[in-house]
Every structure is written in structure tokens, then in C-alpha cells.
Copies of this chain bind each other. A is one copy, B any other.
Amino acid sequence: MLERLQSFEGNTPDVEAAAIVGVDGLTIAASFPLGVEEERVSAMSASMMNIGKRISSELARGMLDEVYIQGDDGYILLMSMGNEALLSVLARQQAKLGILFLEMRKAINDLRDLVRI
């Protein structure tokens, strides 16, 4: 699983970190740079996804698939991996979002079998 995450990072320039996080906020697998507190990031990613799910169903946007957060120094992208887990990715500001989403979807297709959901 970690191998697939690392190959995703290798394939997509401007990705700084990637993690698979359970909906409970615990890290399942992570490839994070030094200085990032893995536990807090995972917990926050899961919170964000949960609030996103509530707001999405409240507003009749259907089941939540993706959350994207843009700060002025870069992006955080969350993509649902079914009911149990999500893929959380940090990218630099110059990242090409279209390519990134495409690569995330490919990675999720491969990873989904590994987390068995």
C-alpha cells in the first residue's frame, strides 16, 4: 500500500505528501515529509471529510466524492475511498489540478482493493 502511495507521489510532480486515512481519523498508510504531524493531519482530513459529507447530503449534492482546499501556498485534496477511508494529498501551488485528480483516481482504484472496502 505504501509502495503504491509512493509511486503515486513519484508520478505526480508537485505532490508533497500523501496518506490514506480511515474515516475515524487514524492513519492507515502515509508518506509524509518531516515536520508534518501525521496524527493531526489525518484527524483533520477525516473531520473535513465528515463535515463535507454532512453539508453535501444536506444540500442535496449527493454522496461526497472530493474536497479541495486551496490556500495561497498550495492545495489539500481529499478523495473518498468508499465508506471506510479517504486519500489525502498535499500539493504545491503550481500543481496542475486536472492531472492531480486523474492520478488520484487511478491510485484509488488500485488502493481500494488493498484496504478492502
Contacts and interface: CB of A to CB of B under 8 A. Distances in A.
A113 interface: no
Interface residues of A, number: 34
Contact of A73 (B52, B61, B71): B61
Contacts of A47: 51
B52 A90 contact: no
A26 B4 CA distance: 43
Given A51-B51, A61-B90, A71 B44 contact: no
Interface in A63-99: 63-76, 90
Nearest to A77: B68
Most B CB within 10 A of own CB, among A55, A58, A72: A55
The 4 closest A-B pairs by CB, nearest first: A62-B73, A61-B71, A56-B71, A62-B72
Interface of A: 36-37, 40-41, 44-45, 47-48, 51-52, 54-76, 90
Given A40-B58, A45-B55, 15 more contacts: A36-B59, A37-B58, A44-B54, A47-B51, A55-B69, A56-B69, A56-B71, A59-B90, A60-B73, A60-B74, A62-B72, A64-B71, A66-B68, A67-B67, A68-B70
